[in-house]
Structure 1
């Protein structure tokens, strides 16, 4: 999430967590959405960097954070089933 600042990162994290929650059919609170969104942003940013995908700005950061958050919730769902 380069170039968005700390407040922007928090807002993007909350939005990404909320979108991922809706896509995955889960129900979490605001703090959980923030945590999932920020961790998802880190995961998505890492994977995008490894694959050579460049992103920037608010929209690019939101897309990458949302995809990372969805992946995070998916992986957590796999672990919880066991």
Structure 2
């Protein structure tokens, strides 16, 4: 369940960053794909650090409010960061 939350938050994060920073906008599809991948990576990093998943919410099946908020935050940030990286590389290659 936590991975799904991270993927959705990543897609939202990628599209929000694309909407706010027009120079990073790659279109809805690329923003979403980069966001989903970045959100998954961000969520996995958070879980590996022990701040999410089993460490925080094992008793509640991983669905306590702290875990959910952490997954949303890490997924959104991961999605936005990966979109920014993709946009910078794509813009550099276009020159």
TM class by shorter chain equals 0.5 to 0.7
Per the normalisation by structure 1, the TM-score is 0.60
2:78 — aligned with what?
68
**Can you give the 5+ residue segments of structure 1 that lack an aligned partner in the other structure?**
none
> Is 2:67 aligned against 1:56?
yes
- Seen in structure 2, the aligned counterparts of structure 1 residues 72 and 10 have a Cα distance that, compared at 3 Å, is closer
| Superposition RMSD in Å | 3.1
For residue 11 of structure 2, the aligned residue among 14, 24, 39 is 14
For residue 26 of structure 2, the aligned residue among 25, 28, 31 is 28
Is the 1:12–1:62 Cα contact (8 Å) retained in structure 2?
yes
**Can you give the 5+ residue segments of structure 2 that lack an aligned partner in the other structure?**
53-65
Matched residues in 2 for 1:17 and 1:45: separation?
A: 14
Matched residues in 2 for 1:29 and 1:50: separation?
A: 31
